[in-house]
Each structure stands twice: as C-alpha cells, then as structure tokens.
Amino acid sequence: MSGIGTSFGYMGSVQGKALYGVEGVTQLGWATRVKIVHGLSHALSYLHHDCSPPIVHRDVTVNNVLLKSNFEARLSDFGTARLISVNSSNWTHIVGSFGYMAPELALTMRVTDKCDVYSFGVVALEVLMGRHPGDLLESQLSESSQSMKEDNAELFLKDLLDQRLEAPRNELAKAVVLVMSLALTCIRARPGSRPTMLYVAQKLLAQSLPSLPLPFGMLVCKRNSYTVPQKMLANGSIWREATGHARVPAHLSRQRPR
C-alpha cells in the first residue's frame, strides 16, 4: 500500500523526484522547500493531536513524503503506523529507516510521538541542506565526548544550507531561519526537550516572522546550545520567537494505519 499515493496524482517522493536531482535546483527553491516542511508538520500534528487515539507514523523519511503537482507535501506509507494508548507502555520492536529513527528507540524500545518529532527534524534538515544531516545527528549523540568541543563550534547557517541554491533573502530568509531553528530543536537527543508537532506547526503558520538580528550571511548557530524550542543563537544574541495563532490542517495521503 505504500505506493498508493502515486496513483492519485502524485509526482513521487521528495527524495525520488526532486531533492537530489536536477529538479532540486530548477524546481525546489527555498519557498517550495519551506512549503514542503510546512505540509509535513501539519500532517504529523494532525496524527498526534487531532486523532483519537493519537497515531505515531514511525517511518517519517523523505521517501515517504509525496509531492503533488503544486508541490504540496503529503505523508504516505502507514504500514508501520501505530495507535498510541495512554493506558499502555507502548513497547515496540524497532521499526523505521536508518538515519531517521530516534536514538532512544534502541535503548527503551518504547514508541512516543517524540520519535516522529525527531524524524521530522531530520527530514526538515535534509530538505534545507540538500543532503542527509548525518554530521549534525552524530553531534547530538556525542555531547559527553571529547569531540563535542569541536562539534560545538559555531557554524554559519548559510554553510549548512543547500549550496546549489542562492541564499534566501528578505522574508524568505526569515522563513528559512525559522524552519532551520525548529528542525534543530526536533533532533535533540533527549526526547523531553523536543517540541511537540502541534507547537512546530503553529510556529510555521505564524502570520508574521521575527526580524533577523543580523544579516543572513552572518547568522551562526551552535549545534548543541539550544535551551528553548525554536530560539536561534546568533553571535551570542538569541533570535526572537515567532508568534501567531493558526489552525492545523491534515496533509495526509489516502492511507491509514493497518
């Protein structure tokens, strides 16, 4: 059932159709990439907060994000999805895709909505970076190691983004910074420090975006200096939070958990 989405007018997955090919430059500009991340956040927020009981997808990857002709994203492949019970420990076998699974699954064998949040963060970063963010994920898991001192060095945000595209400008630059900062909070090693998908979706649908404290090319971030969701460190100054109220629609393909 995982391919059913392509039978209803979908062009294919983010990875298969666009991100790593020529389309990644010609069709997936910054506005389109931000739109894709928005759609995915809405879908997961719907599963986690509007469904009763809540649904955890458990295999959020770029391959399972389908694109319609207008580049609206739809989450697909619910073959590993699971209903979450508040009266159960929700133990599980390890399922999902390598490079996208939350690190705590291997230790606790317990599935929560924060597992999907982690996977969302990986996908969001991959969409913006044009490559899998393996180095950032490794730095999150080695906080106590000696190499952490080097990994905690400041990185220019522009250097993390897909180098095939020109740097975003004006309002689009603000949107990219917001998506990046939210994605980085989603891949925190400790599940309890990750935001909920409802929080992420609401921030991404904010009616107004915060001003950047510095020109886009000068913004830097520290991989492991996060304290509050979606705050961005920039040369010692914390980027102000975006505010706004928004509805959270469902962006899902025609598949349900089995």
* 34-66: pLDDT as tens digits: 999 999 999 999 999 999 999 999 999 999 999
Query: Has residue 234 got a pLDDT over 50?
Result: no
- Give the per-residue pLDDT at 105: 84
Nearest 5°: the CA angle 92, 98, 101 is: 50
Q: What value does the mean pLDDT take over residues 160-179?
A: 92
Q: Is the pLDDT at 169 greater than 80, yes or no? A: yes
Is the pTM higher than 0.85? no
Of the chain, the percentage scoring pLDDT greater than 90 comes to: 42
The answer on pLDDT for 98 being more than 90 is no
Question: From CA 133, how far away is CA 127, in angstroms rounded?
Answer: 10
Q: How far apart are CA 115 and CA 96, in angstroms?
A: 10
Question: What phi-psi label fits residue 66: left (phi over 0), alpha (psi between -120 and 50 degrees) or beta?
Answer: beta
Amino acid at 228: V
Answer with the residue of higher pLDDT: 168 or 9: 168
pLDDT at 135: 84
CATH of domain 4-239: 1.10.510.10
Take residue 31 and report the two structure tokens written for it: 């506005």
Q: Is the pLDDT of residue 212 over 80?
A: yes
Considering only CA atoms, which of 74, 59, 77, 71 is closest in space to residue 34? 71
d(CA 120, CA 198): 12
190-214: average pLDDT: 89
- 113 an active-site residue? no
Q: How many C-beta atoms lie closer than 10 Å to residue 92's C-beta?
A: 18
Query: 46 or 23: whose pLDDT is higher?
Result: 46
Of the pLDDT bands very low, low, confident and very high (cuts 50, 70, 90), residue 187 is very high
- The rounded percent of the chain whose pLDDT value lies above 70 is 68
Q: Give the per-residue pLDDT at 84.
A: 80
Q: What is the DSSP letter of 193?
A: G
Q: Over 60: is that where the pLDDT of 17 sits?
A: no
Cα–Cα distances in angstroms (integers) from residue 230 to residues 121, 152, 196, 223, 235, in the given order: 12, 18, 12, 13, 16
Domain boundaries, the chain: 4-239
Please say whether the beta carbons of 61 and 2 come within 8 A.
Answer: no
Which pair of structure tokens corresponds to residue 229? Answer: 């969701």
Please compute the mean of the pLDDT values over residues 186-214 and round it to a whole number: 89
pLDDT at 155: 75
DSSP character for 244?
-
pLDDT of residue 153: 55
Catalytic residue among 59, 77, 116, 151: 59
**Cβ–Cβ < 8 Å for 77, 64:** yes
Among 34, 19, 38, CA closest to 130: 19
Nearest to 182 by CA among 46, 44, 69: 44
